[in-house]
Amino acid sequence: MPTPNLSLCVITRNEAARLPVCLASVKGLVDEIVVVDTGSTDDTVDIARAAGAFVQEIKWPGGFSAARNVALQHASGRWILVLDADESLPPSSVSRIRDLVAQPAKCAYSLVQRSRLPEGHHLDVAIVRLFPRDPRVRFERPIHEQVNTSLERARIPIRDTAITFDHEGYAFPAAMPEKTRRNQKLIESALAADPRGDPHLRFFYAATFFDTGNYTRAAREYEKCAAQCGKDRPKLANTARLKAAESLVRCANHNGAKAMLELEAPAGNHPLSCWLRGDIAQHEGNTAEAIAWWERTLAFSSAAYLPPVPLGPLKLQTLMKLAEAWAQFGRKDVGVSILKLAMALNRSGGQVDGLEAADRYNEITSEAVRV
């Protein structure tokens, strides 16, 4: 029997409502489906088997990496594609992945998880989800698991792509507090066992405080993460400092945020960085500098930034700030026009994620003189 080329690996628990969409999206692309179920009490297992999947039923092993690694053990394809039950591939991504897996399995690829948010917005995150089947490549961490570290050890290169897959998990805000509590417990257990271990865990631990509005504690944990990175993980350290700065601004600690941003390298290459610098400049009374930073925020295109940022809501907030700033310059007429633009873009949902906000803002202000 020939070796399958592409195996889909999924872990599930009570996903009967969402799994059919996931599996239908890869029909004709994958040669093998491996589903590891961790205790479903609905029709998840029957749905998976009806779709032709090999299903391994296990007890919840206490962490997501362990469950995913069971799926990897059962997969036999040359390539591995990983999706969650609440994720699916759009048709355009199917064809692009088909082209990638037609090549020898010698590198891994990051895909862009596009999470649907309320009001038509989305959040893009780059995640390695397509990689060669290799016994050295395994998921790590009990939560926010990834294969990047094992790929590095195996010297398998990672290449970035703009191939998207859709994620529905953030579309229902009511479910997020329970997920945050679950994540926090898993991370606290791992940190208790190894408090100076993986700095990524510290980063995600900080995120649980940020997500629940405890910005003082979040800033402290993000700073710990940056310090823990040292010189070995400059990208993560930079990301942690940027999130620390955001946390400090939300605490109205602008001086502390400014100190964090002064360590950023390179400066201003992230939309959140520009927005924060504008807020700090406004706090210091330098409205012209604030406007310049916020105009740079509007100029960013939709992409998977690190740290991830919901660009649409950030740009709407930026337009509100710019409207206020122009009014401070004595141009209330311009400020009103910018407010109307923000309202129109808000009604249009996802359009604000791209460059339309910057283009229309520039039309409004092109003839205005800042007095």
- Encode pLDDT of 61-97 as tens digits: 989 999 999 999 999 999 999 999 999 999 999 999 9
Which of 61-65, 91-95, 104-108, 366-370 is predicted with the least confidence, judged by mean pLDDT? Answer: 366-370
- pTM reported for the whole predicted model: 0.90
Rounded CA-CA distance 367/371 in Å is 12
Give me the CATH code for the 6-167 domain, please: 3.90.550.10
List the structure tokens of 224. 């710990």
CATH topology of domain 173-265: 1.25.40
Share of residues in the chain with pLDDT > 70 (%): 95
Classify residue 70 by its DSSP letter: H
> How many C-beta neighbours within 10 Å does residue 300 have?
24
Q: Which residue has the tokens 């296990």?
A: 58
Rounded CA-CA distance 131/149 in Å is 13
